Structure 1
């Protein structure tokens, strides 16, 4: 990184320049142009350089910033720019030698220190530009969360969401303007906050949540109960899904193609394994594609990409996969296309019919890999007694293409 790059990203707290390091102050004084939200700019003293308000939407400001390349520019961000902040976006569009950053205290650090919570055991989530359903995988009695929210209406919406999930007893510490002269911390249960809808809060704010209640906790092992998913019967059932996910072996940074998504259960559980996984599901039926989108959003993985259409037409425009699951639409043409488009990927395909089982057997003879036959039975009433009812056996082929 250059000693004097043209762009400096400065993390500014609610105490304004009083909380800045000498290096941050020097960069601010030396800047020809200072860009930032109106609230941040209002915290600064008179500067030698020009000030410009960062526009909404945020992307418009990035375009304006790029037009200033070569001039000495300072961009103001909240707290730590690289913790749910603007830093990641700017670093992605700039060369390493073009920028430097001076972070301030993040609201997560300030909130944890106000409450005496250990950050390493507290989940920190940015919901100022994301749906509250991102919280769903983290909700269980005893959990501690710190959540950034978009505006002053956020605490009430958060309380309503927690109540709807069965966690109305959760304690919400609403923290406004942390670290500045306007700082205020108030505590409510989710139920109390819903009852006091007239309560007024001021941005910027975050909420620390001590989760409590008898709401349903999402298991961490692969193979969620089928009733977590809305479906029309087209779903990879829990025992088979658990084995399929184990065979797919999700890893951080990897991208899954889920072909014949059905309810989206495989792709959704793939994404639940790690926040840095990616997945695209392909579903030809428009109603099912819409249902997959709804399932993903409700279970906290709205980053799932859903492509509605025929897999043979869709996969040519998808980013390369690290793993592929074929749960529907299995055909000779599809396997041939995958062998060309997904080289190096781990493929798992499940077959139920004799025809599809024969197809997998033929391809296993050609490319190798493992064939596994699953025969599951469950206890059902048999007159006044009980007996085993067998499901259709499933043949699973797994191979690296």
Structure 2
């Protein structure tokens, strides 16, 4: 069986008990080097993820009879690897275990409900900002190309009134949460999630 485990926002304290139990029983751990480094006492086999997901899928299909755990950041189905694996692996060969996403974590930290939230990502694509700004409450999982500064510039270009909550290094010791107007947003932030709020909310 292939288990795709959501590892939470980062700090191991936010990992679910079911994820911890499945890792302890795994024959193979699959993940990015940063994630695998968090399990120095694991005595089974490890398989390092890279950007070639087709190769990973072939390997997983060939090893589906083993007890394989794929480590996914946050929640696997919130702009994570879970969608691709769910589409490509038969349901009888895989099980996806949800985790706490960085988006969920940030909303809890600022005490804001997620009702009627529009959730999107800038990973590997150009967001449709005209569509995004039609929503009063948006959470965006960012990447290095389109992050808080670029979002702020799009707001300023349109003359919109929005506030941004930038959650940086969420759940880690160096976590920072910023509530800013678009013209206050600086050019660089560490790993982050951005919440865009219409000021009439």
Instruction: With the length of structure 2 as denominator, give the TM-score of the two structures.
Output: 0.86
- Unpaired runs of 5+ residues, structure 1, are 1-5, 214-401
Deviation of 1:149 (Å): 0.6
Query: Partners in 2 of 1:206 and 1:136 — Cα distance?
Result: 19
Larger Rg: 1
Query: Partners in 1 of 2:89 and 2:19 — Cα distance?
Result: 20
Distance 1:212 1:163, change over 3 A: farther
Deviation of 1:174 (Å): 1.2
Match of 1:145 among 135, 138, 142: 138
Query: Partners in 2 of 1:184 and 1:160 — Cα distance?
Result: 21
Deviation of 1:34 (Å): 0.9
Contact 2:139 2:196 in 1 (8 A): yes
Query: Partners in 1 of 2:146 and 2:88 — Cα distance?
Result: 32
**2:42 equivalent to 1:42:** no
**2:17 equivalent to 1:22:** yes
What is the number of residues matched between the two proteins?
199
**2:156 equivalent to 1:163:** yes
Distance 1:126 1:32, change over 3 A: same
Query: Partners in 2 of 1:172 and 1:49 — Cα distance?
Result: 44
- Give the superposed CA RMSD: 2.3
Query: Partners in 2 of 1:159 and 1:60 — Cα distance?
Result: 37
Match of 1:177 among 151, 155, 169: 169
Query: Partners in 1 of 2:175 and 2:38 — Cα distance?
Result: 14
Higher RCO structure, 1 or 2 (CA under 8 Å, sep 6+) = 2
Match of 2:70 among 75, 84, 96: 75
Query: Partners in 2 of 1:38 and 1:136 — Cα distance?
Result: 37
Where do residues 308-327 of structure 1 align in structure 2 (5 Å cutoff)? Answer: none
Instruction: With the length of structure 1 as denominator, give the TM-score of the two structures.
Output: 0.46
Contact 1:152 1:201 in 2 (8 A): no
Query: Partners in 2 of 1:65 and 1:31 — Cα distance?
Result: 14
Query: Partners in 2 of 1:99 and 1:68 — Cα distance?
Result: 11
